[in-house]
Amino acid sequence: MLIQGHCLVLFTSLVASIAIEDISRVKPWRCTTVPYELEVSVQDYRDNGEVLECRDNVTTTACSGWCYSSELSDYRMPFKISYHTVCTYAGLKKRKAFLRNCDPRHRHPYTYVYDAQGCMCKVCDRETTHCQP
């Protein structure tokens, strides 16, 4: 049985989307890195109540692909807790990404993102990853 997984580190204040053509380049039997575009918005709250915006699209690296599993799904009640492997990060590297579309008075025109340093099939860690049964 093949199980497809998309693994995302949970970011606060980030809205993420991935293009279908990026996924289609992944060979279905591989768990590998793919480009992932984040739409980032950072607010700078001033003492006078003014909110200065800073936004941009930032490309990072995510993991996507298929992992083999011999587990049989059970969608009947009660739902079975699943321990199948998913395509997830083998390592992450934090980097500072500067944003271009910012109010010139914005004090912090950047955010931190994480790039996958490699991908592997392993049981999903719910502390750092969005896991689906």
pLDDT at 93 over 90: yes
Q: Is the pTM here over 0.75, yes or no?
A: no
> What residue ranges define each of the domains in the chain, with the CATH number in brackets?
2-123 (2.10.90)
Please list, in sequence order, all residues whose beta carbon lies within 8 angstroms of the beta carbon of residue 51, skipping any fewer than 6 positions away. 43, 44, 45
pLDDT at 33 over 90: yes
pLDDT at 17: 44
Mean pLDDT of 38-59: 96
Over the chain, what is the mean pLDDT?
78
Q: Bigger pLDDT: 89 or 13?
A: 89
Spatial contact of 42 and 127, defined as CB atoms under 8 Å apart? no
Please list, in sequence order, all residues whose beta carbon lies within 8 angstroms of the beta carbon of residue 45, skipping any fewer than 6 positions away. 51
pLDDT at 116 over 70: yes
